[in-house]
C-alpha cells in the first residue's frame, strides 16, 4: 500500500501549496495521506478538498537535552485538536519573533535583510530556510547552501535558539487531544534513539517512522526490529518538501501489506 504521512507545504518549509501537494500525492497513487507541516495545520482543509479522508497531522518541533526532536502527531476520528492548535499558535508566534532577532544579528555581520518582508511573504511557520531564501533573493548570498554555511548553520551568527516544547510536553498534547504520536526520522537522533524511546514510550510515543523514503530496505528492517522490540507501530512518510529538497522528489512510500494493516489499525482507519 502506498502511504504518505509526512510531507510539507508552503505553510511551513515546503515549496508547494497544500492542495498541490495533495494533488501530487493522489496522482502518485497514495491511498493514505497526511500533510504534516512544521508546527502548523493550516493546510489541512485544502488537502481534504483533494483527499476527503486526509488525516489531520503536524510535525511538532520539540527539544530534549538541547537537541531538536520532531514528533509527528496524527489525529484520530475522535480527536479534539483544539488543544494542539492552541499550542501551535504559540509556537508560530515564537518562531516569527525569532526572525527579527536573526535580522539584528546578521546585520552586525553585514548580511542585511528585511524581517518584515520575510514574515509578509510567509504566513505560516517561519524558520531559517525562509531567511536563507530571502538572503538569496536580495543578493546577499548566491545560494541557500551559502546562506547556511556562512550565517544560519548551527552555531552560526544567525542560529538563534527558539523556545520549544519538550518531548514530554508534546506527548502530553497528543494524549490530551486523543492523537497518535510517532518519532520522525529516527536516524537523526543517532545513538541516543533507543534511550529516547525507552523514556517516552510509556507516555504515548507509540509510533516510529520506519518506512522513511530515504531509508533502503536494510535500514527499514533495522528500524522495524527496534519498533517491534518496543511494541511500537512503524509509520510511513516521504518527508517531501517540493522542488527545494532534491533528495526526495516523489510523494508516497510503499509499505508491505502487514505493516500497512497495523498502521491503519493504529490510526483507527478501516481498511
* CA pair distance 54, 31, nearest whole angstrom: 9
The domain spanning residue 210 has which CATH number? 3.20.20.140
Q: Residues 231, 257: one domain?
A: yes
Contact 207, 72 (CB under 8 A): yes
pLDDT at 144: 87
Contact 100, 74 (CB under 8 A): no
Nearest CA-CA partner of 53 in 26, 90, 88:
26
pLDDT at 265: 98
Q: Does a structural domain hold residue 161?
A: no
pLDDT at 271: 66
pLDDT > 70 in the chain, percent:
99
Q: Residues 224, 141: one domain?
A: no
pLDDT, tens digit, 9 for 90 and up, residues 230-243: 999 999 999 999 98
Cα dihedral 101, 103, 107, 110 in deg (nearest 10): 130
Q: Residues 59, 104: one domain?
A: no
Q: Residues 34, 119: one domain?
A: no
pLDDT at 205: 98
Secondary structure in 3-state letters for 35-100: ECCECCCCCHHHHHHHCCCCEEEEEEEEEECCEEEEEEEECCCCCCCHHHHHHHHHHHHHHHHHHH
Which helix (H) or strand (E) covers residue 208, if one does?
A: strand 205-212
Backbone angles phi, psi at 255, to 5 degrees: -115, 130
Q: Residues 135, 207: one domain?
A: no
Q: Residues 194, 253: one domain?
A: yes
pLDDT, tens digit, 9 for 90 and up, residues 116-157: 999 988 877 788 888 998 999 999 999 989 999 999 998 899
Q: Does a structural domain hold residue 158?
A: no
Sign of the dihedral defined by the CA atoms of residues 161, 195, 60, 210, in that order: positive
Question: Once rounded to an integer, what is the mean pLDDT over residues 19-23?
Answer: 97
Unique residue bearing C-alpha cell 485544502: 46
pLDDT > 90 in the chain, percent:
80
Q: Does a structural domain hold residue 19?
A: yes
Q: Residues 218, 256: one domain?
A: yes
pLDDT at 124: 75
Task: List the domain range (segments joined by +) for residue 70.
Answer: 2-87+166-266
Q: Residues 75, 172: one domain?
A: yes
pLDDT, tens digit, 9 for 90 and up, residues 94-115: 888 999 999 999 999 999 999 9
Q: Residues 131, 209: one domain?
A: no
pLDDT at 263: 98
pLDDT at 129: 87
Question: Once rounded to an integer, what is the mean pLDDT over residues 161-179?
Answer: 92
Q: For all residues of the chain together, what is the average pLDDT?
A: 94
Provide the pairing of β-strand 180-183 with 67-74. Answer: antiparallel
How many of the other CB atoms lie within 10 Å of CB of 231?
Answer: 8
pLDDT at 257: 97
Q: Residues 81, 182: one domain?
A: yes
- The residue from 113, 130, 152 where one domain ends is 152
Count of H helices and E strands in the chain? 10, 9
Backbone angles phi, psi at 171, to 5 degrees: -70, -35
In Å, the largest CA–CA distance within the chain is 57
Q: Does a structural domain hold residue 59?
A: yes
pLDDT, tens digit, 9 for 90 and up, residues 48-90: 999 999 999 999 999 999 888 999 999 999 999 999 999 888 8
The structural domain count of the chain equals 2
At 163, the pLDDT band (50, 70, 90 cuts) reads: confident
Amino acid at each position: 500500500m502506498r502511504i504518505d504521512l509526512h510531507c510539507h507545504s508552503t505553510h511551513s518549509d515546503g515549496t508547494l501549496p497544500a492542495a498541490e501537494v495533495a494533488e501530487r500525492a493522489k496522482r502518485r497513487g497514495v491511498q493514505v495521506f497526511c500533510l504534516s507541516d512544521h508546527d502548523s495545520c493550516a493546510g489541512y482543509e485544502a488537502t481534504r478538498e483533494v483527499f476527503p479522508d486526509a488525516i489531520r497531522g503536524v510535525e511538532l518541533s520539540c527539544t530534549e537535552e538541547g537537541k531538536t526532536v520532531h514528533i509527528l502527531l496524527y489525529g484520530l476520528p475522535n480527536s479534539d485538536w483544539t488543544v494542539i492548535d492552541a499550542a501551535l499558535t504559540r509556537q508560530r508566534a515564537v518562531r516569527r519573533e525569532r526572525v527579527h532577532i536573526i535580522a539584528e544579528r546578521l546585520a552586525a555581520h553585514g548580511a542585511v535583510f528585511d524581517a518584515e518582508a520575510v514574515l509578509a511573504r510567509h504566513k505560516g511557520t517561519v524558520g531559517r530556510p525562509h531567511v536563507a531564501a530571502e538572503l538569496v533573493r536580495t543578493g546577499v548570498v548566491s545560494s541557500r547552501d551559502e546562506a547556511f554555511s556562512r550565517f544560519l548553520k548551527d552555531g552560526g551568527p544567525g542560529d538563534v535558539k527558539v523556545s520549544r516544547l519538550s518531548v514530554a510536553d508534546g506527548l502530553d498534547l497528543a494524549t490530551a487531544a486523543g492523537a497518535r504520536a510517532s518519532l520522525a526520522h529516527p536516524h537523526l537522533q543517532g545513538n541516543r534513539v533507543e534511550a529516547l524511546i525507552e523514556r517516552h514510550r510509556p507516555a504515548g510515543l507509540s509510533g516510529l517512522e520506519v518506512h522513511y523514503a530515504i531509508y533502503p530496505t536494510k535500514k527499514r528492517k533495522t528500524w522495524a526490529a527496534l519498533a517491534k522490540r518496543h511494541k511500537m507501530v512503524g509509520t510511513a512518510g516521504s518527508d517531501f518538501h517540493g522542488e527545494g529538497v532534491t533528495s526526495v522528489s516523489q510523494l508516497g512510500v510503499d509499505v508491505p501489506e502487514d505493516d500497512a494493516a497495523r498502521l491503519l489499525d493504529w490510526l483507527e482507519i478501516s481498511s
